[in-house]
Structure 1
Amino acid sequence: MKLVRAIIRPDKAGVVLDELKDAGFPAVTKVDVVGRGKQRGMKVGNVHYDEIPKEMLLMVVEDEDVEMVVALIGKNAKTGEGAFGDGKIFISEVEEAYTVSSGMAGL
């Protein structure tokens, strides 16, 4: 199993979530976050924005589904021009998962 963490623009979260659900991946945790990338924020006029609002999507998927999930997120989170700040996707190993209500292991 893999943990997919995607940090994307807030205005893209809705379409990404809809596409994931339609593709059979309805289980997603969405968290409002702020941060900055390699550009160290952004400057508009004389104002420097150090913390940019983003959405972080977290989901655990089977190993064989990672490429499809990454492709769906990448395609739908990208702005038309593919600009800085479109986001990042991180993949991590998940050793085990348990359902709290039943105690059952797995997804």
Structure 2
Amino acid sequence: ADAERWNDEEEAADALHQTAAVQAPDIVARQFAKVVKPGDWFDKYTFAGGMSADELLYQAMEASDDATQAAFAELMVSPAAQPLREAIANHFAKLHAFAIYTDHQEDLQ
């Protein structure tokens, strides 16, 4: 009886996981639809697990998800991403000005 109950519970859990795997992408897409203003991008608890959109992007990039990386790269080379590229460049330059400058000078020689 215990083994049968354990099998039934395991089957129910497997079915629940399969349902979740099918429905989760649509749920996340609907949650992304609520990210409409720039400030929404960083709002905690927009997504499951108390995460924000920027955290989802970071995790997908860290996991080397091919589809995410390809879409992100396509976006980053578009004209719309110019302000972001400039902001990243300015931030990086502030943090590493001397190394950037000296590496560049070496490249010129």
Aligning the two structures, in what range does the TM-score lie when normalised by the shorter sequence? under 0.3
More helix by share: 2
Q: Which has the higher contact order (CA 8 A, sep 6+)?
A: 1
Q: Bigger radius of gyration, 1 or 2?
A: 2
Q: TM-score, length-normalised on structure 1?
A: 0.24
More strand by share: 1
Q: TM-score, length-normalised on structure 2?
A: 0.23
